[in-house]
Structure 1
Amino acid sequence: MAAGKGADDRIAELVESILVQTPLKAAGFIVTIYGDVVEPRGGVVWIGNLIETCAAVGISETLVRTAVSRLVAAGQLLGERAGRRSYYRLSKAAGSEFAAAARIIFSGAQEENWQLVHLAGAEAEETMQALERAGYARLDPRLAIGPARQAPPLAGGLILRADSPDPKALAAFVRAYWDLAPHAAAYRTFLQQFAPVARLAEKRSLAPATALTMRLLLIHRFRSVLLNDPRLPAAALPEDWPGREARRLFATLYRHLSPAADDHIARTFISGSGALSAVTEDTRKRLSLLETQAL
C-alpha cells in the first residue's frame, strides 16, 4: 500500500521527535552517510548528495560544507573534482575505521570471554584510556579487565585470559566495575524512538527518499548507542537487558527499509564515474548478517 498523507505526516512527526530528543551534528551524520551508503559502494560521492540528504534532517548546506572541510582537515575525507562538481572519498585510514565499526554493527557477534590487560611503560595511562573507550574497566592504574576483544597496541604489556564460572560472582563483579544504567537507558530511548517507525513501516510502504532518511537515522542512533556500550559478554548482562531487543529492532527495521532506500540511492547518488549501485556484495552481506538477528 502506498504511503498516504496520514503516513507522511506521522513519519514527519517521528523524525522531528527523534531529532528533538537526540539532535544531530553535521559531521557525525555525514560519517553515518559514508558508513551506510557510500563506503559499501566504492567510498566516493558527490557533495550535492550529502547536502540533499542532510537537508532532510534539517542540516543546512553551510553546515554540510563546513563539516566536510573539517573532515578533510582531520584526514577522514579526500576531495577531488570532475568538471564543476566536487566529490569526496574516504581516506584509507577512515575506511579501515568504518570497516571495523560495520563489523560490530552488523555482525551482532558477542565476545564470550574475558581478559586482563596489565600495562607497562611510560604511556600506560594513554593506553588505559584507550582500553576504557573500548569497554574495559580500570582495576588499578596499570590493570584493566574487559571482553576479550583486540586490545590497543601494548608496549611491554601482558594479556591474561580470565574465566567466569560462577554467574552470581560475575554479576556482582560487573556491578562493582561497570555502570550499565546509562547504556540501558540509551537502548530504551532507541526502542522508544524507533518502535513506532517499525509499526508504521509494517503497515505502509515509505517513499524511497523517506526510507533512506529513516534508515540513516536508525543506524546513526544505533551506532552511537552500540559503540558506547562496553558490549560485555552475554552471561554478564541482566536477563532484561534492553540491548537485545534494540538489536532485534535494528535488524528488522534496517532490512525492511533497505529495498526502498537502496532504490533511492541508485536513482540519485553519484560518484565521479557514475551512479552508485543499489546493491553490492557488501550490502548483500550486511543484510544477510542481519537476517538471523531480526524479530
Structure 2
Amino acid sequence: MNKALGQFSDQAAPADAPRAPAFLVTLYGDVVEPRGGTLWMGSLIECCAMHGLSESLVRTAVSRLVGAGRLEGMRIGRKSYYRLSDAARDEFREASRLLFLPPPITEDWLFCLTETPQEADLPAPWVRLSPNVAIAPNREDVAPIDGVMMRARQLDGCGDLRSLAWEKWGLDKVSQIYEMFLERHRGLQERLDGDVVLSPEEALAFRLRLVHDYRHAALGDPRLPLECYPPEWPAEQARRLFVTIYVGLSDLADTCVGQSFLNDDGALLAHNVETERRVFQLKREIAAWDEYRLLTKHYTF
C-alpha cells in the first residue's frame, strides 16, 4: 500500500490491496460515472497505484471488464480511454441507490408459488423455502419472478422468523462483512474528528476505499424486515459511518478529481450537478438523524 494510505492503516483502511476488477468498478461508480463515464487509462493507473495495484494488474483488469461487456475502449492518438457500456451504466445507477439514498424500510414479504417444483437459481434477494415456494422482502427494487405472486406479513408471536432469515439469507456472513467495514474505517472517522490534515489525493484514496468496502457490505445485505435482525445488527452503524465519512472527505476528494483525472475532452469536473446531488442527499440523511435524535431526547420521559 502507498504510504499515503499506510499512515492510517490501524483501523482506518485495510492493509491489503483490493482486487483490481472490483476496485475499478468502485472507481468508475464513485468518480467516473457521474462525470460522463469516460476516463484515460493513465488516470486509472495513477489512482490505482495509491491502493497498491500495479499497472499490469490494472491493464489486465480493464481487459477483463471490456471482455465482460462492462467497459468500452477507444483510442485517440497514443492514448486509450475507457467508458462504461450502456448495460453497465444502468447497473451503476441501480447500485448508487444503495450508497446515496437512505436504506428503505421493508415491512412485509413477497411470495411466489409454482405448480411444478423449481430448481433454477433465483436472483437475490429471492430464496426458496421449498421447490414450489420462494420468498423475498417486498421492496421497490425487488422484481417479481415467474409464478403466482402474493404479499404477506408475519403474525405477531407466530414462529421464529429470525432463525429462518439467518439460515436462508446467510446473515452471519453479512454481519461479519459489516463488522469488518466498521473495524477498518472507524479509526479514520476518529482522526477526521481530530486535527488531521489530508491532501486531496489522500482524501480521494480514503473515500474510494470507503465506498469499495461499504458497497461490498450493502450489496450482500438482503435488507429484510427489521424483526429478522437482532438488536445489535451492525447495518445502521455502518451506514452512519459511511455517510459521515463520505461527506467529510468529499470536498477534498472532488478537488483531486478535478486536478488529476482526464477524459477525452480534458480534465474531469471537480463538481457537477450529479456529484453535488449525491452529497446533498447524504447531508439530508445526516440532518434527519439529528432531527430524530433531538425529538427522541425531547420526548423521553
What TM-score, normalized by structure 2, do the two folds share?
0.85
CA distance in 1, matches of 2:97, 2:233: 22
CA distance in 1, matches of 2:6, 2:136: 45
Shift of 1:14: 5.4
CA distance in 2, matches of 1:120, 1:223: 37
Contact 1:266 1:276 in 2 (8 A): yes
- Stretch deviating more after TM superposition (223-232 or 277-286): 277-286
CA RMSD of aligned residues (A): 2.4
Aligned length: 281
Deviations 1:246-291 (A, max 9, x none): 0000000011010000000001111101211111222122112222
Of 10, 15, 18, 1:19 maps to: 15
Q: What does residue 91 of structure 2 align with?
A: 97
Of 238, 241, 245, 1:246 maps to: 238
State the one-letter code of the partner of 1:55: A
CA distance in 2, matches of 1:7, 1:34: 21
Q: What does residue 86 of structure 1 align with?
A: 80
Gaps of 5+ in 1: 1-5
CA distance in 1, matches of 2:10, 2:35: 31
Q: What does residue 3 of structure 1 align with?
A: none
Shift of 1:236: 2.5
More helix by share: 1
Gaps of 5+ in 2: 290-301
What TM-score, normalized by structure 1, do the two folds share?
0.87
Q: What does residue 49 of structure 2 align with?
A: 55
CA distance in 2, matches of 1:135, 1:245: 22
State the one-letter code of the partner of 1:200: R
Contact 1:167 1:235 in 2 (8 A): no
CA distance in 2, matches of 1:121, 1:35: 41
Name the CA shift for 1:175/1:69 in 2 (closer, same or farther; >3 Å): closer
Equivalent residue runs for 1:20-169 within 5 Å: 20=16, 23-110=17-104, 111-119=106-114, 124-126=118-120, 129-131=121-123, 134-149=124-139, 150-152=141-143, 154-155=145-146, 157-166=147-156, 169=159
* Corresponding residue SS for 2:193: helix
Shift of 1:233: 2.0
1:213 aligns with 2:208: no
Contact 1:248 1:293 in 2 (8 A): no
1:237 aligns with 2:229: yes
State the one-letter code of the partner of 2:14: I
Shift of 1:77: 0.4
